[in-house]
Amino acid sequence: MRKLIFGAVCAGSVAFSGAFALAETTIRVTLQLPKTHLLGQNWLAFQKLIEEKSGGEMKM
């Protein structure tokens, strides 16, 4: 019984350790228009939305 509990604890710690080691996600976007163009402004608004909603975990 002890080995079963120990195995379950070890498996759980390995499974959940990945959640704490997640790296920040970066989305790269290229646009052949200036940032002042309407599409560039849309991307800037989308960037702000992504960074706010993800709590800073995702950047663009």
Q: Share the mean pLDDT of the chain.
A: 78
For residue 7, is pLDDT > 80? no
Radius of gyration of the chain (CA): 21
Residue with token string 């646009």: 31
Q: pTM of the predicted model, to two decimals?
A: 0.54
Nearest to 23 by CA among 57, 59, 60: 57
Q: Indicate the SS3 state at residue 46.
A: helix
Contacts of 38 (CB under 8 A, 6+ apart): none
β-bridge partners, 25: 58
pLDDT per residue as tens digits for the range 12-41: 655 555 555 566 788 888 889 999 999 999
Share of the chain above pLDDT 70, in %: 63
